[in-house]
Amino acid sequence: MATYLDAILSRHRAEAAADTRSTADLSSRVASLGPARDFRAALAGSGPSVIAEVKRRSPSRGDLHPELDPGRLAQQYAAGGAGCISVLTDREGFGGSPEDLRAVRSAVSLPVLRKDFTVSANDVLDTRLMGADCVLLIVAALDGGELEHYHGLAVEAGLAVLVETHDETEVDRAVAVGADIIGVNQRDLVTFEVDHDRAVRVGGAIPEGVVKVAESGVRGPGDAARLFAAGFQAVLVGESLVTAEDATSAVRSLLAPG
């Protein structure tokens, strides 16, 4: 039986294989862009940070907020004190789009993460061209050569890189390619089930000096406080914010002292 991850990666790799655009041409276009917003610096300050996510649906939960206005939601997140914004651009599984990211980029001055399944060099360059400041690389989705190549290409393109891990072995792979922002996703990408203890358990393997981000499964202030106390500088939160009646207050509550 194919898993969620199998199906998503199969689709993205098929799309990448059918992409006939020249990587050199895309690189040339990227070289003409101005500097990106500093995603890492926005998370590495003296206090905890929230990466607030614009997310219309998920494969496991279905529709969350299909009619959301991405720019307006980003402004509400910013008003609540979010440090960065994450935008899903995967259409089929998450209802997102590059247009959502561009709308967010235009609406706020915060750095923006493109949340998607990056499987090619053109994916990395597209991330920069559509206006994102940070690209997501998922260790479980890439072999060693791909992870190293795409990480290096992203840095050359002026992007920050959030390298997503799920266990200590994947953390080691992230460190080996020079990752300076490492996320621990508490959601198993095979079953899509959440293990609320995973980030605390795996986070201890992330070296000092690397920005640590806990992803998925943050249901409210209690979860966020526990993760900040465990040494994470940031939490990436989607479903609980997208479905909140007051997104601004929901972000603010995650940052309140425990």
Which of 55, 58, 122, 170 is flagged as catalytic? 55
Which of 49, 53, 58, 120 is flagged as catalytic? 53
Q: Is 53 a known active-site residue?
A: yes
Which of 58, 115, 212, 240 is flagged as catalytic? 115
Q: Is 99 a known active-site residue?
A: no
Which of 49, 86, 185, 240 is flagged as catalytic? 185
Which of 49, 170, 215, 239 is flagged as catalytic? 215
Q: Is 55 a known active-site residue?
A: yes
Q: Is 239 a known active-site residue?
A: no
Which of 86, 164, 239, 240 is flagged as catalytic? 164
Non-local (6+) Cβ contacts of 163 within 8 A are 137, 139, 147, 151, 174, 177, 179, 181, 182, 183
Q: Is 10 a known active-site residue?
A: no
The catalytic site residues sit at 53, 55, 115, 164, 185, 215-216
